């Protein structure tokens, strides 16, 4: 009998090489240290940190989360210690993990804050990539950068000019055309796009006649958004050349593979981490088994290979 080759789970996200394609989504895994008692963090493909801003933020007032059918709404509001404390207190732990560390950044007031953050992170060896969070729905702004193609282009281009680190742009699903924004990010020098961030939603307690979260609206995540996210990954895959990091309701091996078939190079677990903190590693082993069982040597064999049936 011919011996099957061992599946190779490695994937490339721009200049970052991941030992496997399973990452953890920003804001759902803290700064990783919180999860060290649950799993061997070194076995993750990569870690994406909670989004960091220039100054510390205490976030929005509670209640900031609520459960919805097959999902959750959150309005955390980018609570984080600020870049100074992040570098001093969080980087040493992340550095020791020796896996790709992706630092998510955002501005509060002016887009220039992205440049300040990128310049500081550019000097840190342990940082493999910078993820531009231009899509957070939970900070008070009329419009997000990722809701406008030219603003996206200008921001990515400006950051590209000051850092040689791998650059990832996190896109919003709250737009008419995600591919248009993805294309702008790619043309400005983004080496990958991450999608999707949360969908703006609302949940009302009919007895209190009030929103279940303090800020009225919040970001919807979890299995409820998966079909929308898979569709968006597929649409973007057909428009751009750079790798896609797919997320939105990934709960198990099947949902992870759905995203790969739609065109994702890597996948991230988000809301699932609140249910089972070690779920991402279960997906890594499930993926390896799926590849062995189906004689898949490399994920490129199935990436974007959704079968299109002609009627
Ligand atoms: C509680 C919570 C906090 C989040 N915080 C961030 C954040 O700081 N930055 C960011 O880019 N995305 C943030 N997200 C969005 C996730 O990274 C992810 O894009 C989204 O939840 C979809 O994936 P999921 O359905 O698997 O959770 C947050 C999501 C949740 C549920």
Give the domain extent around 276.
11-301
Q: Is 224 within 8 Å of 73 (Cβ atoms)?
A: no
Q: Which two tokens stand for residue 79?
A: 């609570």
User: For residue 197, which atom of ligand 1 is closest to its CA?
Assistant: 19
Average pLDDT score over residue span 303-309: 93
Question: From ligand 1's centre to the CA of 26, what distance in Å?
Answer: 6
For residue 1, tell me if it sits in a domain. Answer: no
User: Atom 7, ligand 1: which residue's CA is nearest?
Assistant: 27
Helix, coil or strand: residue 159: helix
Q: Is 262 within 8 Å of 230 (Cβ atoms)?
A: yes
Kindly write down the DSSP assignment for every residue of 212-266, as one continuous string.
SSTTS-EEEESGGGHHHHHHHHHHHHTT--S-EEE-SS--SHHHHHHHHHHT-SE
User: Atom 5, ligand 1: which residue's CA is nearest?
Assistant: 27
Count H helices, E strands: the chain?
A: 9, 16
236 lines ligand 1 (CB under 6 A): no
Counted residue by residue, the chain has a size of 311
With a cut of 70, say whether residue 1 has pLDDT above it.
no
For residue 308, tell me if it sits in a domain. Answer: no
Domain count, the chain: 1
Question: From ligand 1's centre to the CA of 138, what distance in Å?
Answer: 11
Asked if 136 is an active-site residue, the reply is yes
CATH number at residue 254: 3.20.20.70
Q: Is 156 within 8 Å of 118 (Cβ atoms)?
A: no
For residue 154, tell me if it sits in a domain. Answer: yes
What pLDDT does residue 14 have? 95
pLDDT band at residue 25, thresholds of 50, 70 and 90?
very high
Q: What is the pLDDT of residues 42-56, one digit of tens each?
A: 999 999 999 999 999
User: Atom 19, ligand 1: which residue's CA is nearest?
Assistant: 197
Q: What is the pLDDT of residues 213-266, one digit of tens each?
A: 999 999 999 999 999 999 999 999 999 999 999 999 999 999 999 999 999 999
197 lines ligand 1 (CB under 6 A): yes
Q: Is 272 within 8 Å of 279 (Cβ atoms)?
A: yes
For residue 310, tell me if it sits in a domain. Answer: no
For residue 306, tell me if it sits in a domain. Answer: no
User: For residue 196, which atom of ligand 1 is closest to its CA?
Assistant: 19
Report residue 95: phi and psi, to 5°: -55, -40
170 lines ligand 1 (CB under 6 A): yes
Residue appearing with tokens 């193609």 = 149
Average pLDDT score over residue span 105-119: 95
Q: What is the pLDDT of residues 266-305, one digit of tens each?
A: 999 999 999 999 999 999 999 999 999 999 999 999 999 9
Distance CA 267, CA 198 (A): 15
Average pLDDT over all residues of the chain:
96
174 lines ligand 1 (CB under 6 A): no
What pLDDT does residue 182 have? 98
Q: In the 8-state DSSP scheme, what is residue 295?
A: T
Largest CA distance in the chain: 67
For residue 2, tell me if it sits in a domain. Answer: no
250 lines ligand 1 (CB under 6 A): yes
């Amino acid at each position: 009998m011919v011996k099957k080759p061992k599946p190779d789970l490695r994937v490339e996200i721009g200049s970052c090489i991941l030992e496997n394609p399973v990452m953890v989504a920003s804001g759902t895994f803290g700064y990783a240290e919180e999860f060290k008692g649950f799993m061997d963090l070194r076995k993750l493909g990569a870690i994406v940190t909670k989004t960091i801003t220039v100054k510390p933020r205490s976030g929005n007032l509670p209640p900031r989360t609520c459960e919805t059918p097959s999902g959750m709404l959150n309005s955390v509001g980018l609570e984080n210690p600020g870049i100074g404390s992040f570098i001093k207190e969080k980087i040493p732990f992340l550095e020791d993990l020796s896996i790709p560390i992706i630092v998510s950044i955002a501005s509060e007031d002016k887009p220039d804050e992205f440049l300040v953050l990128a310049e500081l992170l550019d000097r840190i060896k342990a940082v493999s990539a910078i993820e531009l969070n231009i899509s957070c729905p939970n900070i008070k702004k009329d419009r997000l950068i990722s809701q406008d193609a030219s603003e996206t282009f200008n921001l990515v281009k400006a950051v590209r000019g000051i850092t040689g680190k791998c650059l990832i742009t996190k896109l919003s699903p709250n737009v008419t055309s995600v591919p248009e924004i993805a294309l702008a990010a790619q043309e400005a020098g983004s080496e990958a796009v991450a999608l999707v961030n949360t969908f703006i939603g609302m949940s009302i307690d009919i007895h209190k006649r009030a929103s279940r979260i303090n800020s009225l609206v919040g970001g919807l995540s979890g299995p409820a958004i998966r079909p929308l996210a898979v569709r968006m990954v597929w649409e973007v895959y057909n428009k751009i050349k750079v790798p896609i990091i797919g997320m939105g309701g990934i709960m198990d091996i099947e949902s992870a593979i759905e995203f790969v078939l739609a065109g994702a190079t890597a996948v991230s677990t988000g809301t699932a981490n609140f249910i089972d903190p070690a779920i991402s590693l279960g997906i890594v082993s499930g993926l390896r088994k799926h590849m062995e069982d189906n004689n898949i040597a490399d994920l490129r064999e199935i990436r974007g290979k959704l079968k299109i049936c002609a009627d």
